[in-house]
């Protein structure tokens, strides 16, 4: 699977043309999108387009400091409940607070002692399409367009291993995945990024809104929902039960532990002060708090959504649509209510606790088998 470089280059120049003719109308969002498309092009071809006159790094950085919802004390309670009761016990790893994801995956996979499944291109595409078909024609057709128009590239490393490059003017984007292998692992990655593509179309484009993805605290929730639901789909259809269970566990571990105090740093003090970044004595960035919040919420809300959707998939499709399209007008609590989850039930983990316990039990059983 490859991204069509010629198409991408044309897209970049169409956008540059548009921005240069509509300089006043062009938003920071569009400029940031141009920057990321150029970055993708550079990864693919080695050719570095720099459109300095559009890019004002200072203003882009400024957007990173916008958060709209965080009640630090409530989240502190939530994290402590979540981490202490559920995640730490999952694989009984001694270094359970180690942030190194690859180390964790390696240890877990060794314990599991089973091979991950690999797919040919036809199988890979069919699994993704039949999975997304469960969410109706709209979503299915959107995903199919990404395949038909060569907008998904495997083996393309950008700043991160997996990314979605969106563009409002072009009405879509590209999915880049750093892994060349078509495995259960990269399946989850591609489905996640296609989740961003769906969200982008439903919230950002169809609504005709000029929003900043950077300041959207709930940005990661739909993509995580589609990713976690894919793992359930792989379990239900006996496609790769072992690694689906492992990846569910890994998602929870990685993203929930982001907001758990580690290395002596209390992240919550940062949230209280609305500091975007935590730096060490020499001023080096230790981590970007905005990412930690966005990914933490991504997994914890998506887990709730996924558990809720299991009972009645049909009904949940319209609920999901409502959540995707309207979340920018709602407060954090209202967004949860749209999903049929009260704030209280979110905090005390009413829906997700039993689910996580059950899935962890199954994983541990498979490890011991
Ligand atoms: Zn994402």
- Say if 327 falls within a structural domain: yes
pLDDT at 289: 59
CA of 230 to the centre of ligand 1 (A): 14
Instruction: Give the mean model confidence (pLDDT) for residues 125-136.
Output: 96
CA of 282 to the centre of ligand 1 (A): 30
CA of 209 to the centre of ligand 1 (A): 20
Check which CATH number belongs to the domain holding 236 and give it.
Answer: 1.10.1370.30
Task: Please write the tens of the pLDDT for every residue from 146-170.
Answer: 999 999 999 888 777 788 988 777 7
CA of 281 to the centre of ligand 1 (A): 31
**Could you give the number of structural domains in the chain?**
1
Query: How far is the C-alpha of 17 from the C-alpha of 304, rounded, in Å?
Result: 43
Instruction: Give the mean model confidence (pLDDT) for residues 7-25.
Output: 70
Task: Please report, in angstroms and rounded to a whole number, the separation of the first and last CA atoms in the chain.
Answer: 36
- Say if 114 falls within a structural domain: yes
pLDDT at 282: 63
Task: Please write the tens of the pLDDT for every residue from 208-249.
Answer: 655 555 556 788 899 999 999 999 999 999 999 999 998 988
273 has a pLDDT exceeding 90 = no
- Say if 280 falls within a structural domain: yes
315-322, long-range: CB < 8 A, 24+ apart: 317/135, 317/136, 320/135, 320/222, 320/225, 321/202
CA of 295 to the centre of ligand 1 (A): 8
CA of 223 to the centre of ligand 1 (A): 6
CA of 141 to the centre of ligand 1 (A): 21
- Give 279's pLDDT tier (boundaries 50, 70, 90): low
- Say if 42 falls within a structural domain: no
- Say if 55 falls within a structural domain: no
pLDDT at 225: 95
pLDDT at 241: 95
Q: Domain of residue 297: give its range.
A: 67-149+183-368
- CB atoms < 10 A from the CB of 202, how many? 19
pLDDT at 114: 85
- Say if 124 falls within a structural domain: yes
55 has a pLDDT exceeding 60 = no
Of the ranges 19-23, 61-65, 132-136, 168-172, which is most confident? 132-136
CA of 191 to the centre of ligand 1 (A): 10
Q: What is the pTM of this model?
A: 0.76
63 has a pLDDT exceeding 70 = no
- Say if 160 falls within a structural domain: no
Percent of the chain with pLDDT over 70: 67
């Amino acid at each position: 699977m490859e991204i069509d470089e010629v198409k991408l280059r044309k897209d970049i120049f169409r956008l540059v043309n548009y921005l240069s003719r509509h300089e006043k109308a062009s938003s920071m969002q569009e400029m940031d999108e141009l920057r990321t498309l150029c970055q993708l092009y550079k990864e693919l071809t080695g050719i570095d387009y720099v459109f300095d006159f559009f890019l004002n790094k200072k203003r882009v950085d400024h957007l990173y400091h916008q958060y709209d919802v965080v009640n630090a004390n409530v989240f502190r309670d939530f994290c402590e409940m979540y981490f202490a009761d559920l995640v730490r016990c999952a694989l009984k790893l001694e270094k359970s607070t180690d942030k190194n994801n690859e180390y964790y995956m390696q240890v877990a996979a060794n314990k599991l002692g089973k091979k991950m499944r690999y797919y040919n291109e036809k199988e890979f595409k069919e699994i993704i399409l039949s999975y997304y078909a469960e969410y109706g024609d709209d979503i299915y057709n959107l995903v199919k367009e990404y395949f038909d128009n060569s907008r998904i590239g495997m083996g393309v490393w950008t700043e991160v291993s997996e990314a979605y490059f969106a563009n409002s003017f072009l009405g879509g984007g590209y999915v880049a995945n750093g892994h060349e292998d078509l495995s259960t692992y990269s399946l989850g990655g591609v489905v996640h990024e296609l989740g961003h593509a769906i969200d982008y179309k439903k919230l950002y484009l169809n609504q005709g809104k000029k929003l900043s993805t950077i300041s959207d605290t709930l940005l990661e929730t739909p993509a995580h929902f589609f990713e976690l639901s894919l793992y359930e789909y792989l379990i239900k259809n006996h496609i790769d039960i072992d690694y689906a269970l492992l990846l569910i566990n890994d998602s929870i571990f990685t993203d929930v532990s982001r907001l758990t105090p580690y290395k002596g740093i209390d992240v919550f003090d940062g949230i209280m002060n609305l500091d975007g970044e935590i730096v060490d004595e020499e001023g080096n960035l230790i981590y970007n708090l905005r990412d930690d919040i966005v990914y933490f919420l991504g997994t914890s809300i998506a887990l709730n959504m996924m558990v809720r959707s299991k009972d009645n998939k049909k009904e949940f499709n319209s609920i999901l649509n409502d959540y995707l399209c309207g979340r920018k007008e709602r407060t954090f609590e209202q967004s949860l209510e749209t999903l049929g989850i009260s704030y209280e039930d979110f905090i005390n983990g009413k829906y997700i606790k039993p689910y996580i316990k059950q899935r962890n039990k199954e994983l541990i059983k498979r490890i011991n088998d």
